[in-house]
Chains A and B, each alone.
Chain A
């Protein structure tokens, strides 16, 4: 086992520990534990950056190819985004109890997949690759944070005995939490739009066709439309409260499916990126 993989196992362990600490901290109203969980998640993030840095140096390219790298990059962005948000706004730290499990499940799946490095092929040898993938990861990270905020919102709504309301009292008020969910969706919506735009420009530069209704292109558009509908129902139809939160909760797995599930399920030009390691 190489240092790179050992560090990644450390990462997974720390993320799992952060998840457990958040769960205990929130469930038993131990504020100190909830605070410590953020330290644990940050330590895990440091291990992950080190591991991916070593891999980048070894392979000569960033984490773009194959399920292991793609899932890793997504997790890195989700945790980094969350850690930055939580350090800047400690009131949001408790949302980690919904966000960290997403990171653990994704990274756990990555650790079970092939860790072999794939070479950059002719079709991927472009500076657009970095821009396109970076915005995909950032968009997913923002959607994941909105998912976390929405989950905590719904938990508080359903706290009939008031226990969970008390446990999550450090979080911002429900209307502020809802606004934060919408803001993260907006940020994700913007990054996702940039991802689609850069993908279209790259496709045109690479093979003279900016859009070919390839399944992953189509699913990227579908996810963007889903979030466009979310923003429309929020801003023009004035949806509020629980049903809006459920919308954000349901939409995030669809974004994940578009990024990871579609390349696995379809033989697309993106198949070698998130999926089975096939070239196109």
Chain B
């Protein structure tokens, strides 16, 4: 019973019709995926679209179109398509083996063998000698793009046996790519890590602001740290503005620097399977909390991001001041009002560095809104003071650790090579010889135009009939 079910499943998956419909479905699904905002564009974008398309939204949400390319439906289709591809590749391999065998055998056929094993005969004009028939045939075939070689009374244009391997190689490479993509997603980790200039962070889930790791990714094998040594908000090289550019160091578990370089678009830091790319940047503000007697009670580095607000920045979090029992007395957030040039906000540290401190009490009511310059303090309603030690940049780095990349590259290269062979290599057998008999001179032809032939069987037949003697009938030979 299991064997029967297996055979039935294989039969279904081998179906060319199923593969075609699956391809069409993946294409149609992908079109829908580009028409509907995806979840990774942000909840605001999705909510705005949902509000504008209230009638469609329930259907879209039910079908999972907001996560079109990670939805179970799409994933299941890709898995089935991968299986179809594998079976299709297997089928094509079997076909290629057979075709290669035929090509090898045909390449050694001589005139007598061809006279006994051909597909059609063309009657020739009585005035034509055997030599003239072959010469005219070679010329006509050449005009039709079939270049022949003549040897021992046989004209032959037989493709090399390797010409049939393009399609199987391409399909196997596609299957390998699909497997590598699926396994790669299970084994890769990627995330965003904000690091201030001069700061070092270990590569661990807690260091990331946002991280996604596949179930097979092993964090216990990761022993490294990342440091941002410097930050140039407008780095230029080779006459090109490279944009905000951090200098990043990768350190091993012992703190030894493995690699240091500026990272900017097209200049990522690569080490083994790790790639570091600058995703964004912002400010880091150094703050010190002082008690009523002026003694330092705590330090904090608050990250500030650029935004569309009036000041041009927004706080990435808030700080709490608590009493001895741990109750929150005050929450405050910090932003950096940007300088304006010609009415536009400048994404640089202001010429006179300062932060805006907004504090709220336990009831959420605003109790403080003050500008604090570098080195200055502001007295909080609790009696404590807050000092701004300085403002610097932080780099939000994108870290991707993906061991499947070399496999993907290899798969892509093999797939392209296979496809090139499938597209460029002719798969054909065109052989001709002259048969002299009681019915006159005839041209015996053996033709297999499998792929990429420059002409068609009917065109070759009719053109040769014209070239070898007008008004003469052609007839199919008996097998």
Contacts and interface: CB of A to CB of B under 8 A. Distances in A.
Interface stretch (B133-141, B367-375, B415-423): B415-423
Contact of A207 (B26, B277, B423, B459): B277
A169 B409 CA distance: 47
Nearest to A126: B266
Given A121-B241, A218-B34, A190 B20 contact: no
**Most-contacted residue by chain B among A186, A206, A225, A237 (CB, 10 A):** A225
A173 interface: yes
**Most-contacted residue by chain B among A125, A183, A237 (CB, 10 A):** A125
The A contact surface, by secondary structure, is helix
Contacts of B198: none
A44 B393 CA distance: 54
A5 interface: no
A193 B27 CA distance: 15
B423 A206 contact: no
A50 interface: no
Interface residues of B, number: 47
B405 A210 contact: yes
Nearest to B144: A176
A186 B20 contact: no
A232 B268 contact: no
A193 B416 contact: yes
A201 to B, nearest CB: 7
B349 to A, nearest CB: 21
Given A123-B266, A183-B452, A222 B27 contact: yes
B242 A208 contact: no
A201 B266 CA distance: 11
B27 A207 contact: no
Given A215-B34, A222-B31, A187 B458 contact: no
B26 to A, nearest CB: 6
A190 B167 CA distance: 12
B69 A213 contact: yes
A233 interface: yes
A228 B416 CA distance: 14
A132 to B, nearest CB: 12
A189 B240 contact: no
A200 interface: yes
Contact of B23 (A120, A208, A215, A228): A228
Contacts of A229: 20, 23-24, 27
A103 to B, nearest CB: 24
Interface string B271-297: 000011100000000000000000000
B320 interface: no
Contact of A208 (B33, B268, B456): B268
A40 to B, nearest CB: 27
A189 B423 contact: yes
Contacts of A201: 409, 412
Nearest to A268: B34
Interface in A128-167: none
B420 A208 contact: no
B268 A207 contact: yes
A114 interface: no
Interface in B298-339: none
A206 B23 contact: no
B242 to A, nearest CB: 5
Nearest to B401: A208
B242 A122 contact: yes
Contact of B412 (A119, A183, A197, A213): A197
A246 B418 CA distance: 28
Given A122-B264, A126-B266, A186-B422, A176 B240 contact: no
A76 B268 CA distance: 34
A4 to B, nearest CB: 22
A165 to B, nearest CB: 16
A209 B264 CA distance: 14
Given A201-B409, A207-B277, A121 B23 contact: no
Nearest to A236: B16
B398 A221 contact: no
Contacts of A233: 20
A126 B420 CA distance: 25
Interface of A: 119-123, 125-126, 172-173, 175-176, 179, 183, 186-187, 189-190, 193-194, 197, 200-201, 204-210, 213, 215, 218-219, 221-222, 225-226, 228-229, 232-233, 236-237, 262, 266
Give me the 3 closest cross-chain CB pairs, A-B, nearest first: A236-B16, A208-B275, A225-B27
8 contacts: A122-B243, A122-B266, A209-B190, A213-B69, A218-B30, A225-B27, A228-B23, A229-B24
Given A190-B416, A197-B415, 7 more contacts: A187-B423, A208-B275, A208-B277, A208-B399, A218-B34, A232-B16, A237-B17
